[in-house]
Amino acid sequence: MIAYKSADQLAKLIKDKEISCVELLDYYISRVEKYNSDINAIIVKDYEKAKKAALKADEELSKGNTLGPLHGVPMTIKDSYDLAGTVTSRGNPALKDNVASKDALSVERLKNAGAVIFGKTNVPYNLADFQSYNEIYGTTNNPWDLTRSPGGSSGGSAAALASGMTGYETGSDIGGSIRNPAHFCGVFGHKPTWGLLPPRGHAAPNVLAQSDLTVIGPLGRSAQDLETGVLVMGGPDEIDGAGLKMDLEKPNKTSLKEYKIAAWVNEDFAPVNQETQNRVTNVAETITSNKGIVDFEAKPDFDIVESMDTYASLLHPTMASRSSEEDYQKLLDKFEELDSSDNNKSTTLDPTHDSQSAYTLKKQLSSLRDYNIANEKRTHLRWAWHEFFKEYDAIIAPIMATDAIEHDHGAFGDRTVMVDNDERPYFEQIFWAGLAIASYLPSTIIPTGLSEKGLPIGIQIIGPQYGDLKTIGLAKLLEQEGYKFQAPNTYPD
């Protein structure tokens, strides 16, 4: 089935001249026209430019030239990347007419590697939700169950891949926005080490400074696709390139028996359902059955609640700093309305209570001193992880509490998630995403098969800073053991 091949396999088909670049592009466009009305993943189409690029790629191949590892592969990109001549809305109605004048740096690099970009995929408002819907383009559905979310904020990216409407994708992650959709839709995803893939052109208009925590990164139908994306998009920009270069350590292990892994199955602070716990255990058992070592008790040496508070102390002001003047003023006004006695009540992360609203607002409106204190705490976390990874190659863990959730467009504070009959706060799930994000660590999502409801479940592999090829390398070995992409049967070739 051509539709569900990995980008690496598609590039090989083209290189072997089993299909032309133009034919492959036309094939994926035909699938978009056939299936996208159900899913609403691809919301910007750039067919004419893509066809010109595919023609050029065919011409180059006829001369014996290969542009790169993605030569002729049709792909879409998240609607947060600039693609010259198309709108970059970020799901925000205020940006519905924001036409990019040039490509993002990562888009340039993808094109230089041969990718043929033919559209953009849907996101939530300002890239800030576990679901992907907005006033401009509407709601994106999960290909496995249209009543459910494909995740967010790279929900359109994962849905397009899972339904075979694109050959490759790239998203971004500050709170699980690559990994949550990969998990919900059953594809591979990688959150790189912070700063490894320069994000210029993935930002609001005129923003050049790299945001703390935020990364861009690949999604695909194989672990190899993730490695390709890191190597193609990674490396310093023109300024840093004067003195820096990307030189990632390659995996030095060729079999699972060589690995020593920690398994973080569940946490009372942010519980996950039994099915998800079982998948982490299953992956661990696959490693041990291949004579690798798995430790179910090992964790980095830090206080879990304090680490989550540190992440929140970095995340909330970073997100708030993206606000318009009008939206930021609303935060200030709301904070003034809160009862001052309530401001100091909450030490939890429960957005359904007023005390949590105060907690969040305090973080959003924190001072530079507050932020620097949090950054110091974050640096201690990074060193704790560094020591941990001297003994363990990686840690496997959940990324979300459940499989794909049903659509819920109610107020954030009113949303909840059922975790084995226990009603939990909606944003509690960000704990699992924050483990890697707060400390700049790479994290790779692998599919583990379907739940009892017939929905995908993924787990994350977290590794040491700049150990991106190591976590992806472990994902490759696990893929060989059966942890691989499978296609929904509702969108056949």
pLDDT grade for 352, boundaries at 50, 70 and 90: very low
Q: Is the pLDDT of residue 405 over 70?
A: yes
Q: Is the pLDDT of residue 5 over 50?
A: yes
- For residue 129, the 8-state DSSP code is S
Rounded to an integer, the average pLDDT of 116-132 is: 98
pLDDT grade for 335, boundaries at 50, 70 and 90: confident
Peptide bond into 153 cis (omega under 30): yes
- Smallest CA-to-CA distance from 445 within 472, 405, 414 is with 472
Rounded to an integer, the average pLDDT of 8-17 is: 98
pTM for the predicted model, two decimal places: 0.96
Distance CA 166, CA 163 (A): 8
Per-residue pLDDT tens over the stretch 30-70: 999 999 999 999 999 999 999 999 999 999 999 999 999 99
Q: In this predicted structure, what is the pLDDT of residue 340?
A: 53
**Cα 471 from chain centre:** 15
All domains in the chain, ordered by first residue = 2-254 (3.90.1300.10), 304-371 (no CATH)
For residues 40 and 155, the answer to whether their CB atoms sit within 8 Å is: no
Distance CA 234, CA 193 (A): 10
Instruction: Give the 3-state secondary structure of residue 217.
Output: strand
Q: Is the pLDDT of residue 347 over 80?
A: no
Rounded to an integer, the average pLDDT of 463-473 is: 98
Pairing state of beta strands 215-220 and 169-173? antiparallel
Which residues participate in catalysis according to the annotation? 78, 153, 177
- For residue 101, the 8-state DSSP code is S
Mapped to the 3 state alphabet, what secondary structure does 330-369 carry? HHHHHHHHCCHHHCCCCCCCCCCCHHHHHHHHHHHCCCHH
Of the chain, the percentage scoring pLDDT greater than 70 comes to 97
Residues 6+ apart with CB under 8 A from 164: 1, 3, 4, 31, 487, 491, 493
* CB atoms inside a 10 Å sphere around CB 60: 16
Rounded to an integer, the average pLDDT of 133-138 is: 98
Q: In this predicted structure, what is the pLDDT of residue 87?
A: 98
Rounded to an integer, the average pLDDT of 152-181 is: 98
pLDDT grade for 356, boundaries at 50, 70 and 90: confident
Residue position matching structure tokens 């998240």: 78
Q: In this predicted structure, what is the pLDDT of residue 338?
A: 75
Q: Is the pLDDT of residue 71 over 90?
A: yes
* Token code pair at residue 45: 């189409």
For residues 429 and 417, the answer to whether their CB atoms sit within 8 Å is: yes
Rounded to an integer, the average pLDDT of 185-214 is: 97
* Token code pair at residue 320: 């708030």
Distance CA 440, CA 434 (A): 10
Per-residue pLDDT tens over the stretch 243-254: 999 999 999 999
Strand partners, 121: 42, 78
Strand partners, 119: 45, 76
Q: Is the pLDDT of residue 13 over 50?
A: yes
**Angle separating helix axes 430-437 and 304-320, nearest 10 degrees:** 90
Distance CA 244, CA 388 (A): 27
How is the beta sheet containing 116-121 ordered, strand by strand? 42-45, 116-121, 74-78
For residues 93 and 103, the answer to whether their CB atoms sit within 8 Å is: no
Q: Quote the Cα angle for 177-180-181, to 5°.
A: 85
Strand partners, 138: 134
Average pLDDT, the chain: 95
Q: In this predicted structure, what is the pLDDT of residue 375?
A: 98
Rounded to an integer, the average pLDDT of 104-125 is: 98
Per-residue pLDDT tens over the stretch 473-490: 999 999 999 999 999 999
pLDDT grade for 348, boundaries at 50, 70 and 90: very low
Distances from the Cα of 235 to the Cα of 142, 275, 442, angstroms = 33, 38, 15
Rounded to an integer, the average pLDDT of 124-129 is: 96
Q: Is the pLDDT of residue 354 over 60?
A: no
Q: In this predicted structure, what is the pLDDT of residue 429?
A: 87
Distances from the Cα of 414 to the Cα of 13, 148, 185, 421, 439, angstroms = 49, 18, 25, 17, 30
Residues 6+ apart with CB under 8 A from 16: none
